[in-house]
Amino acid sequence: MIVFDLACQPAGHRFEGWFGSSEDFAAQKERGLVACPQCGSHDVEKAVMAPRVGRKGNQSGTRNATSPARTPVASEALPPEVAQAMQKLARMQGEALKNSRWVGDDFAEQSRAMHYGERERETIHGEATAEEAHALIDEGIEVAPLPFPVAPPDETN
C-alpha cells in the first residue's frame, strides 16, 4: 500500500488516501471514486509530501530523541445532515444492489449485449473505464455511476 497526501482543488482541504499503487490512484480518480471527505469535490490532486523512507538494516529501531512522537488526531465529525444523507444513500444503494448482479470488468460488454438484444435484460453493476462509460452513453446505453464505491462480492466479508 502507498499513502498519498491529497488536496481538493476548490477549497484546499487536505486528507490522506491509501492506494495499492500510483496507478490505482489514477484509475480510481478517473472513475470518480476519489472525493474530498469534507466537501465531496472530485477535483482532487496529490499534494506535496515528504517521502517516507524506511530504516536501513544497520539502524536501530529506536526513535531519534529530537523527533516528537506522532499523536493521532481525530477527524472532524460530519455535520448531522451530511451523515444522515450519506447513510440514506448507502441504504438506497444497498437496496438497489440486492436486485443487481455483479459483472466486474465485463460491465461494458454485458451492457451492450443487453442493449442490442443479444442476451436477456437484467440489472447489473460492475466496473468500466471512463472511456467505456462514454462509449456506452454515445451508443444510447443508459449507465450511471454509483454514489459510493462497491466492493466486488469476493472482497467483502
User: Which residue ranges make up each domain of the chain?
Assistant: 2-46, 80-152
Nearest to 3 by CA among 42, 52, 41: 52
DSSP assignment, residue 67? S
Of 78 and 120, the one with more pLDDT: 120
pLDDT in tens, 131-145: 999 999 999 999 988
Q: Is the pLDDT of residue 84 over 80?
A: yes
**Mean local confidence (pLDDT), 8-17:** 86
Residue-level pLDDT at 117: 96
- Residues 2-17: b if buried by 16+ CB within 10 A, e if exposed: eebebbbeeeeeebeb
Q: How far apart are CA 71 and CA 5, in angstroms?
A: 17
Segments of the chain assigned E as strands: 2-8, 14-19, 44-46, 101-104, 124-126
What is the number of other CB atoms lying within 10 angstroms of the CB of residue 92?
A: 12
Q: DSSP string spanning 120-139?
A: ----EEE---HHHHHHHHHT
Long-range contacts of 75-78 (CB under 8 A, 24+ apart): 75/37, 76/38
- At 47, give phi and psi (nearest 5°): -95, 160
Residue-level pLDDT at 111: 96
Percent of the chain with pLDDT over 90: 25
Percent of the chain with pLDDT over 70: 82
Q: Is the pLDDT of residue 72 over 70?
A: no
Pairing of strands 101-104, 124-126: parallel
pTM of the model: 0.45
Residue-level pLDDT at 10: 77
